[in-house]
């Protein structure tokens, strides 16, 4: 898969979660900003990981097959561990930024769906930078 495939899958998942979370934020527009921000961030998180996991599986399902038809479990687990470590660090940064940005924008009086979209876009830039740095540190795509 490599960096390009990982970033493509992430961007697809982020695009889908952007649309869904903006709709949820708009729907909850009359709620307290704490509730709106938390529900929108949770929706974003669930949708993102559902789409990302599906895209990651589709793209990598043949990568871990061995000639006998089995699975190279050692390689699969090693790569999954590195992926989880890389995503974990980036997700903590993303969720923190996403929640704070959306709360600030809602508190400043922006429409709920606009606050959701802007906070997700800003957080995504930071997320991708941290994720790609983490992937390099964990050597997820080093030559085996």
pLDDT at 141: 63
Q: Is 144 exposed, middle or buried (0-12, 13-18, 19+ CB in 10 A)?
A: exposed
Share above pLDDT 70 across residues of the chain, in percent, rounded to a whole number: 93
Per-residue pLDDT tens over the stretch 6-34: 778 888 998 999 999 999 999 999 999 99
Helical segments of 28-72, H only: 33-60
pTM over 0.85: no
Could you give the CA distance from residue 28 to residue 31 in angstroms, rounded to a whole number?
5
Exposure string of 114-129, with b = 16+ CB inside 10 Å and e = fewer, is ebbbbbbebbbebbbe
Torsion of CA 56, 61, 66, 70, to 10 degrees: 120
Give φ, ψ of 66 to 5 degrees: -105, 170
> For the residues 63-90, what does the mean pLDDT come to?
81
pLDDT tens by residue, 96-117? 999 999 999 999 999 999 999 9
Query: What confidence score (pLDDT) does residue 63 get?
Result: 78
Dist. CA 115–CA 26, nearest whole Å: 9
pLDDT of 144 strictly over 50: no
What are the pLDDT digits (tens) for 78-90?
877 877 877 888 8
pLDDT at residue 5 in the model: 67
143, pLDDT greater than 60? no
How many residues would you count in the chain?
144
- Residue 134 CB: number of other CB atoms within 10 A? 19
């Amino acid at each position: 898969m490599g960096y390009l495939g990982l970033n493509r899958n992430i961007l697809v998942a982020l695009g889908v979660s952007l649309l869904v979370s903006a709709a949820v934020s708009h729907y909850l527009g009359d709620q307290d900003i704490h509730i709106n921000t938390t529900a929108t961030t949770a929706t974003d998180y669930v949708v993102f990981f559902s789409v990302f996991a599906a895209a990651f599986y589709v793209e990598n399902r043949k990568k871990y097959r061995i000639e006998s038809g089995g699975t190279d479990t050692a390689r699969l687990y090693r790569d999954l561990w590195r992926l989880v470590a890389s995503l974990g660090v980036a997700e903590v940064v993303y969720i923190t930024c996403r929640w704070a940005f959306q709360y600030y924008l809602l508190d400043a009086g922006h429409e709920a769906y606009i606050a959701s979209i802007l906070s997700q876009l800003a957080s995504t830039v930071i997320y991708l930078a941290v994720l790609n740095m983490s992937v390099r540190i964990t050597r997820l795509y080093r030559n085996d």
